[in-house]
Amino acid sequence: MNTNNKFVPYFWKAQKRFILSATAIVGITFLLILLSRQDTAAWNTLEGWFANLIDPLFGVTTVLIALAIWYFETREAWGNSLPKKLSVAFLHEGKLKMYAHKISLQSEGDLRAMAQSTGAQIMKARFLNLSPYIKFRTQQEEDQSEGKIRHFIVIYTLRELSTEMQGQKCKIWVKGANDLPREYEYEAQELEAALGASLGKKEGSNDALLQECLGVIATIV
């Protein structure tokens, strides 16, 4: 059963780090206060228990939890401020037909329009007959030129090929000189061979960006 639309699993997934951090802070603080108390007679009364443990525990824990909230909110804001890149793949009958690697993206709201526009540009087609079911994932990663980025990967399925796309090879776009796309074309068997070769390719080669691109494609097809 899909639990993505259940509140409790969602709450746990969204707040798991905070809950675990707060629990650890409370536990560690409690232990440190216990170890630091030398006067065991004070523990004989409720007043002594509160004065020696509960009161300082609440005080220290409140400060530490506030710091934890501040840290996680700042980290989330930092993640949202990272440069955004879009990679988009179009499959037909389970095989890759076209792919564009790490296009600059202004906002998440532009994802669908940018992806479909890019596909039409690659294939020089006026119309793309797309399935309404889209696969989507996002990840933070290191980029060779820009450092830490937020990388969106969108995967479309073509229900059928337009007239302009009939007989065309698989096309792949990567960033070239002067920010213009550099295009590669592959037959199906050639792409399989390229994906296999990319697994053993080392960074720093002349085709490092293409190898990075093929690495992403290998997780899609």
Q: What's the pLDDT at 41?
A: 54
CA angle, residues 102, 107, 108, in degrees to nearest 5: 85
Does residue 2 fall inside a structural domain? no
Strands (E), 116-166: 129-130, 135-143, 147-160
* Among 27, 51, 28, CA closest to 41: 51
Domain total of the chain: 2
Q: What's the pLDDT at 205?
A: 42
Please, what is the end-to-end C-alpha distance for the chain in angstroms?
26
Residue 189, token pair as written in the block? 């068997």
Does residue 59 fall inside a structural domain? yes
141 and 185 assigned to the same domain: yes
213 and 200 assigned to the same domain: yes
Q: What is the DSSP letter of 53?
A: I
29-58 pLDDT per residue, tens: 777 666 655 555 545 554 566 666 667 777
Q: What's the pLDDT at 206?
A: 45
Give the domain-ending residue among 81, 109, 140: 81
Q: Give dist(CA 52, CA 50) in Å, integer.
A: 6
Low-confidence ranges of the chain (pLDDT < 70): 1-8, 10, 32-54, 144, 197-207, 221
95 and 45 assigned to the same domain: no
* Pairing status of strand 95-105 against strand 170-175: parallel
Q: What's the pLDDT at 204?
A: 41
Check which CATH number belongs to the domain holding 170 and give it: 3.90.79
35 and 114 assigned to the same domain: no
Range(s) of the domain holding residue 29: 7-81
54 and 102 assigned to the same domain: no
